[in-house]
Amino acid sequence: MQERRLGRTGESLSVVGFGGVVVMNETPEAARQYVAEAVRRGINYFDVAPSYGNAEERLGPALEPYRDTVFLACKTLERDREKAAAELRQSLRNLRTDRFDLYQFHAVNTMEEVEQITGPGGALEALLEARERGLVRFLGFSSHAEPAALAMLDRFAFDTVMFPFNWACWHDGSFGPRLLEKATKAGMGVLGLKALARRKLRDGEPRVRAKCRYAPVEDPEEAFLAMRFALSLPLTATVSPGEPELLWWACDAVERLASLTPDAAAALPLPGLVAEPLFGDV
């Protein structure tokens, strides 16, 4: 498993991140098996959030034997100081840990949220206090809206940003290039989402994968091409979808990419994976 530096933090993460939804609604034994296999395959980056059902409760015990050798990230949807502080404390208890390596504002998609988080009494105050107390090491945010993400970069020197970096979004939706350029220039760690998304679900279309709210890649070859695109960008890592099989496809793709010479990789066809982007320039 390849690793890359996480911006200016000094940390190195596996280029495939373990998305906490993988263990959501799984049995404790299945969760332990998934985490053990991920560690065996070289994954050292785990990401979870309270909004992922019972994922925290499942991931905590499963990850406990490896906690000192992995990088654990969590998130909050709370926007004010008191509620964010309370959710952080509960997540620490659920995950059986005394600190998070990275704590992020989750899904910051509107300018109103940017104002709430960074304004007086906002959640940023709680995270700064948590950092001073050693409860979190680094601060970041995730977003699915480029204007809000760019505004967050202007408001505070975050360590990381998590954003969808996907073939169709990038080329057909012009979604991501501005943010990636700005974050990279600022020395931030850039974390990817939705690399294995194929397209939006049609109206009334059932989910192909129960834990994916979109139509994902359909086979390992598509997964390989999608990961090849995502990792051609200066990202640190991309977090897997919630389906275990897709996580293993991502790992397989990274191992295959590592076996190719630069010339062989450059000669591969470009992926045309998605009928339309999940997100676009707004």
Task: Give one DSSP letter per residue of the chain, joined into a string.
Answer: --EEE-GGG--EEESEEEEGGGGTT--HHHHHHHHHHHHHTT--EEE--TTSTTHHHHHHHHHGGGGGGSEEEEEE---BHHHHHHHHHHHHHHTT-S-EEEEEE----SHHHHHHHHSTTBHHHHHHHHHHTTSEEEEEEE-S-HHHHHHHHHHS--SEEEEE--HHHHHHS--SHHHHHHHHHTT-EEEEE-TTEEEPPPTTPPPSSTT-SSEE--SHHHHHHHHHHHHHSS-SEEE--SSHHHHHHHHHHHHHHHTS-HHHHHTSPPP---SS-SS---
Mean pLDDT along residues 252-272: 71
pLDDT bucket at 262, cuts 50 / 70 / 90? low
> Each residue of 200-216: pLDDT tens digit?
888 888 888 888 888 88
- The mean pLDDT of the chain is 91
> Each residue of 177-190: pLDDT tens digit?
899 999 999 999 99
Q: Is the pLDDT of residue 192 over 60?
A: yes
In this prediction, residue 27 carries a pLDDT of 97
> Each residue of 102-122: pLDDT tens digit?
999 999 999 999 999 999 999
Q: Is the pLDDT of residue 67 over 80?
A: yes
Mean pLDDT along residues 225-233: 90
In this prediction, residue 201 carries a pLDDT of 82
Q: Which domains occur in the chain, in start order? A: 3-266 (3.20.20.100)
